[in-house]
Structure 1
Amino acid sequence: MSSPRALGVVSRPPLTWSYPTRHISIPRQVVAQVASPHVLRKHLELQNPSRSANSRPSIFTSGQGVNMSTRSGHRVPIEPQRVDAPLTQAATFLVVTIAHTPDAAQVVRSVLSGIDGLAKNVAIRDLSAAFACTVGIGSEAWSSLTRTPPPAELHPFPAIHGQRHTAVSTPGDLLFHIRSERRDLCFEFERQLLDSLGDAVTVVDETTGFRYFDVRDLLGFVDGTANPVGPDVPDSVLVAEEDTAAAGGSYVVVQKYVHDIKSWNRLSTEQQEAIIGRKKLDNVELDDAAAGQQQSHKSLATIEDENGEEHDILRDNMPFGSPGSGEFGTYFIGYSRRLWVIEEMLQRMFIGDPPGLHDRLLDFSTPLTGTTFFVPSSGFLKRLDTDND
């Protein structure tokens, strides 16, 4: 679970910023080569969404809407179903199953078709808090809930059994990825949402995440370095012409990892860095190991196709935990245009490349859940209660 690092101060006349790192770090040597101030502005807005969450135009809106916000006005909420919503200080990851009762599916359809209004009612309390909710639908519920053919790659999360570690598959019909700069807004939205759904659903997992220092996980490393940025985001995250019925949507996989912090902290910094594949202090990337040798987490999580083209996913991982109960973890959430990319990444981590040389990060991080969903466009959700009897 590794990611970006602080740039400190980046200056490029006539534009000057001094923002703390919040998302994707650009190496200094790359910054020096960037000719477009717009590119730097976009990058730094991604790093500090609290300063610009409602001011930057949406990279994509899952096929719907236009961001009309102004830099100072925060006039409208974030677009519904926006997968690339800004990184925030708080998030709730809510996974539920739908009851097997005659009216449960219709209750869920009604709530999902109106979820944009519910989100706006909460977001309007503080538009600067960058409130957003993204809804994903699982394969087991797709047909009965939507009465449409499922997206081409949508299927249950496949359990992966390595020699030492297992990626478990757990139930989940709906995912609600709730984000905001304010924890109370996440709480209020979830409360209203579950009140609306009532007995039609059962909560199977509820995880509250928080942003930790300069986007670090609880293992002490920056998380999310490999995220796509700028024009690469839609190509990496949005389904396109390969599946026209699902175009504008995105696959999403979630896993809840708990860490053995005591064992991890017994390692030297150098040992930790070798496992992650980056320096702990400054996030500098380490060289890849030779083929056939033990690979780092960074290397195993890098996916290329048969033509050598690298495929990225968009992560919005968050730490969670409770020191009093001894719980320390990372909630992995990855959005992708191509579900096979995430599944190949997990195969490499749990099976190893070559097989038998698994990701050593798994010796200290155990997945408790594993579920796959598809995030449709907001227009698709709005039609759920009108297209079906």
Structure 2
Amino acid sequence: MIPPGDLIQTVNGGTAYATFLTLVLAASTPLFNASSIAANVIGATNDLTRNVAVRSWSHNLAVTVGIGANAWDQLTGLPRPAELRPFEAINGSQYAPATPGDIFYHIRSDRPDLPFEFERQLIDQFNGSVKVQDKVTGFRYFDARALQGFVDGTSNPVGSLIDPATRVNGSIDPNGAGGSYLLTQKYSVNLDKWNQLPTDQQEKVFGRTKPDNIELPDQAPADQKPHKQLTTVIVNGTQHDIVRDNMPFGDPSEDEFGCFFIGYSAAVWVLQQMLDNMFIGVPPGKYDRLLDFTAAETGNYWFVPSLEMLLTIGGN
């Protein structure tokens, strides 16, 4: 059971279902203050989570809310966390777009009706103050595999290592203390093209064996590196971890297949370095070959307030 309370303590929970909801603020009028209404709903997120989770504590409803840089001031009125900034498109060897988004909800559970009910009540509470920019409903695929058949998220920190990787250190940034930076990207996956690649070549792209998830040796600095190596950020001998909770999504009848990437970090620069490694390459030009089979369709940075900070937002 995941107890209600701190909204980012459960990011490593590995639930079976998730909804990824990106919202933009509606226009305000003299008689309709969209920012004020939305702020009140955001500040009451923990109460709504409890009210829905009580229907089945054992199925682990957990909710994270993130706020974008462009909406931070009007939604919170709080000092800005030091690294909070808009996502900027990457025009490297491959392209990563920046897309609109003011508020983001990561809603997850071990049964699909709880995220559905949370979302239903959430949208009712927003009462027209937001518009849905993008929504993805994801699912855990077999033993936490991506649609390409490889285990996903195995490099996540565990136990006592989660907090240093995901929570902002208040002694470094008092404005962000206890919160987390969040990167979200929706990727489409070309499964037909991927499945034409022999398994041994797929393993070179990922940097792991496909059946049993064994890491392959890292490549030399000047050589083409696998996805696993490019997404590991090491600076001056120190590895800077993030927590991923990616999920596949799709509709076979529409030939739609994809992955929603979601990564929590104590620092935006770690997330940005990972993206630069992937889309520009190390060295430049030797980009992540997984991008030959996937395409980023969205891109956003968010700040996830700590529970203490969250409860100060709006009139709650």
TM-score by length of 1: 0.78
Residue 40 of structure 2: which of 91, 96, 110 is its match?
A: 110
User: By how many angstroms is 1:83 displaced?
Assistant: 4.3
Q: Does 1:353 align with 2:279?
A: no
Give the corresponding residue for 2:17: 90
Which 5+ residue runs of structure 1 have no aligned equivalent?
Answer: 1-52, 55-76
Give the corresponding residue for 1:47: none
> Which secondary structure does the structure 1 equivalent of 2:128 belong to?
helix
Give the counterpart letter for 1:131 in structure 2: L
CA contact (8 A) 2:194 2:293 kept: yes
CA contact (8 A) 2:37 2:129 kept: yes
Give the counterpart letter for 1:345 in structure 2: M
Residue 264 of structure 2: which of 335, 338, 345 is its match?
A: 335
CA–CA separation in structure 2 for the residues paired with 1:326 and 1:83: 35
User: By how many angstroms is 1:269 displaced?
Assistant: 0.3
User: By how many angstroms is 1:381 displaced?
Assistant: 1.9
Which 5+ residue runs of structure 2 have no aligned equivalent?
Answer: none
CA contact (8 A) 1:257 1:365 kept: yes
> Which secondary structure does the structure 1 equivalent of 2:312 belong to?
helix
Q: Does 1:247 align with 2:247?
A: no
Give percent identity, aligned residues only.
49
CA contact (8 A) 2:10 2:62 kept: no
Greater Rg over alpha carbons, structure: 1
Paired positions, count: 311
CA contact (8 A) 1:83 1:134 kept: no
Q: Does 1:162 align with 2:92?
A: yes
Give the counterpart letter for 2:252 in structure 1: P
Give the counterpart letter for 1:114 in structure 2: A
User: By how many angstroms is 1:289 displaced?
Assistant: 1.4
Residue 166 of structure 2: which of 234, 237, 252 is its match?
A: 237
CA–CA separation in structure 2 for the residues paired with 1:158 and 1:98: 20
CA–CA separation in structure 2 for the residues paired with 1:384 and 1:217: 36
Q: Does 1:344 align with 2:273?
A: yes
User: By how many angstroms is 1:179 displaced?
Assistant: 0.6
Q: Residues 1-389 of structure 1 correspond to what in structure 2 (within 5 A)? A: 53-54=1-2, 77-85=3-11, 86-102=13-29, 103-163=33-93, 165-240=94-169, 241-305=171-235, 307-386=236-315
Query: What are the Cα deviations for residues 48-89 of structure 1, in whole angstroms up to 9, with x where unaligned?
Result: xxxxx34xxxxxxxxxxxxxxxxxxxxxx4324124342111
User: By how many angstroms is 1:198 displaced?
Assistant: 2.0
Give the counterpart letter for 1:94 in structure 2: L
User: By how many angstroms is 1:386 displaced?
Assistant: 3.7
CA contact (8 A) 2:4 2:49 kept: no
Higher RCO by CA contacts (8 Å cutoff, separation 6 or greater): 2
Give the corresponding residue for 1:27: none
> Which secondary structure does the structure 2 equivalent of 1:199 belong to?
coil
User: By how many angstroms is 1:145 displaced?
Assistant: 1.0
RMSD: 1.1
User: By how many angstroms is 1:379 displaced?
Assistant: 2.2
> Which secondary structure does the structure 1 equivalent of 2:88 belong to?
coil
